[in-house]
Amino acid sequence: MTEKKHRHHEHAAPPPAAPPAAPGETAPAAAAVPMEPAAEALRRVEADLADAKDKHLRLAAEFDNFKKRVARERTESWGRAQADLLARLVDALDDLARFAHVDPAQTDAKTIHDGVDMVERKIWKQLEALGVTRLDQIGVPFDPHVHEAVTMQPAAQASQDHTVAAVLQPGYKLGDTLIRPARVIVLTWQGESSPLVADG
């Protein structure tokens, strides 16, 4: 080998290899990620769990208090509504008591009749102010949402089919809420064979 080739061979030689690991040792990783100690990780998870449990208990307590407050407010509101209704009716009840205890021997029938009529008008004035309506109209179409059919009668003409012929007991509504349906007699058209139609 010439001297030039010998110098080239020396420069191209690979770097020396790392010394082998001692027996029982492992080679270190190139980019090892530091691991959290197991005890520290367990303490952190337990702390997070305790915090979540505490939040859950506080939320449950707040919701329970909310339900109790709503129930209390509903009861108080209902009590105020009843008191308001009574306050509206006490004057009429006083008048009714006066006319209920008059001496029939010293009071004529017209006076008693006029007094009862006055009391009724007073009561209805207050009930209408609250949104109460009476269902006692005849000749209107039968409506199963506000009427209860007690019986049926033949109609004299087709235009009367399924209309209210008579009200046996009036119904009542408070706003859009039905308090009691009206008990009615309903007309039904049976065609030319209706017994109300005179024979030729």
Domain ranges within the chain, ordered by starting residue: 42-130, 133-200
- The backbone torsions φ and ψ at residue 154, rounded to the nearest 5 degrees and listed phi first, read -65, 140
pLDDT the model gives residue 65: 94
Strand, helix or coil at 117?
Answer: helix
pLDDT the model gives residue 106: 87
Whose CA is closest to 178, among 126, 131, 123? 131
DSSP H or E stretch at residue 11: helix 3-11
pLDDT the model gives residue 153: 95
User: Does the pTM exceed 0.85?
Assistant: no
pLDDT the model gives residue 194: 45
In degrees, to the nearest 5, what angle opens at C-alpha 89 toward C-alphas 88 and 90? 105
Q: How many residues does the chain have?
A: 200
pLDDT the model gives residue 112: 87
Rounded distance between C-alpha atoms, residue 59 and residue 63, angstroms = 6
Whose CA is closest to 146, among 130, 129, 134? 134
What's the CATH class of domain 133-200?
Answer: mainly beta
pLDDT the model gives residue 19: 55
Q: Which residues in the chain show pLDDT less than 70?
A: 1-34, 36, 192-200
What is the distance, to the nearest Å, from the Cα of residue 76 to the centroid of all Cα atoms in its chain? 18
Rounded distance between C-alpha atoms, residue 157 and residue 137, angstroms = 19
In degrees, to the nearest 5, what angle opens at C-alpha 181 toward C-alphas 124 and 130? 30
Whose CA is closest to 150, among 171, 166, 138? 166
pLDDT the model gives residue 185: 97
